[in-house]
Amino acid sequence: MAPAVARTGETMKSANFSSGDIFDVSGSVVIVTGGASGLGLSIAEVMAANDARVLLLDIDQARLDECQARFRAARLALDVAILDVADIPALQGAIHAAAERYGRIDAVFANAGISAGSGPFTEFGQIANVREEDWNRVLQINLTAVFATIQAASIHMKRQRGGRIVVTSSVAGLRAERHVGYAYVATKAAVVNLVRHAAIELAEFGVCVNGIAPGPILTNIAGGKLKDPDIAKPYIANVPLARLGDPDEIKGLALLLGSRASSFITGTTIAIDGGMTAW
């Protein structure tokens, strides 16, 4: 496969572009973790639809196969690799291999994450009943793997003096959220500050680091429990727009943060939550 079109760090950070190319990611190399479904798949779709070369990293082989067939039918550029982001050497190895294969990495979406089970409004989710093994597994995927993704991507983006790193947090990382588990809120809050910290270091290299904080969106996280109307009802009650979000509604924000349009945005986490954090 021929290398993707090179995009210099100067081009990525320049504010001198016309309205016609402000969101241009054509030829960019984009990596999405947890990209075989839900928000990750929507991110991959919008980047590929705008002519980026996308690499999906996910643990679910069957869904990766479905993604390849779907993208191929739409004539979109997609590569996939099966791995568990909790396997840090494998995760970082895949990122380094992508940089070598394509010659650069322009945007990385650290999206992979898992639920921590019920929140403290249930007996099982109360702090005294949180199991250590559950806590550790969520931290490994939602925090340590995110750190490792940023760490590996930063090596290449520093060298090329440009790039975009986007982390999926949650509104539960911005405020208390009684419907989700302790490990989930802890990790999602932690990555918000991780974004700030990395943004400070990487700014001088033209690398922008930002977060996305989704509210209740219909994805497969927690087994897709929000697809049950009875479970969804209390979540909807906290959303001023009075509905759940659709995964496709993240596409505009993902394209913004993954493109040159975000050239003066770094170190922030943007909520996409139907007004939930406005209460």
Separation between Cα atoms, residue 148 and residue 42, nearest integer Å: 23
- Closest C-alpha to 94, from 107, 80, 106: 80
What pLDDT does 69 receive?
Answer: 96
Domain that holds residue 36: 22-273
> Residue 131 is encoded by which pair of tokens?
């199991």
The distance from CA 249 to its chain's CA centroid, rounded to whole angstroms, is 14
Residue 27: CATH number of its domain? 3.40.50.720
Q: Does residue 223 carry a pLDDT above 90?
A: no
pLDDT digits 0-9 by tens, 231-259: 889 889 999 999 999 999 999 999 999 99
Options 102, 182, 184, 235, the catalytic residue: 184
Position with higher pLDDT, 214 vs 222: 214
What pLDDT does 17 receive?
Answer: 58
278 lies in some domain: no
Which residues contact residue 19 at a Cβ distance below 8 angstroms, ignoring those fewer than 6 apart? none
Tell me which DSSP letter residue 239 carries. Answer: -
pLDDT digits 0-9 by tens, 41-98: 999 999 999 999 999 999 999 999 999 999 999 999 999 999 999 999 999 999 999 9
Separation between Cα atoms, residue 36 and residue 265, nearest integer Å: 27
Tell me which DSSP letter residue 143 carries. Answer: I
124 lies in some domain: yes
169 lies in some domain: yes
What pLDDT does 16 receive?
Answer: 59
> Residue 52 is encoded by which pair of tokens?
């980026």
SS3 265: coil
Inter-residue contact 148 to 193 (CB < 8 Å): no
What pLDDT does 279 receive?
Answer: 85
SS3 216: coil
31 lies in some domain: yes
Separation between Cα atoms, residue 160 and residue 113, nearest integer Å: 28
- Closest C-alpha to 254, from 166, 154, 157, 146: 166
- The two most distant CA atoms of the chain are separated, in Å, by 56
71 lies in some domain: yes
2 — pLDDT class (breaks 50, 70, 90): very low
pLDDT digits 0-9 by tens, 97-151: 999 999 999 999 999 999 988 888 788 889 999 999 999 999 999 999 999 999 9
| Concatenated DSSP letters of 240-258 | TT-SPBPGGGGHHHHHHHT
Whether 102 sits among the annotated catalytic residues: the reply is: no
What pLDDT does 36 receive?
Answer: 95
> Residue 20 is encoded by which pair of tokens?
């016609």
163 lies in some domain: yes
φ, ψ (nearest 5 deg) of residue 108? -125, 125
10 lies in some domain: no
pLDDT digits 0-9 by tens, 150-159: 999 999 999 9
Which residues contact residue 62 at a Cβ distance below 8 angstroms, ignoring those fewer than 6 apart? none
> Total structural domains in the chain?
1
Separation between Cα atoms, residue 155 and residue 162, nearest integer Å: 11
241 lies in some domain: yes
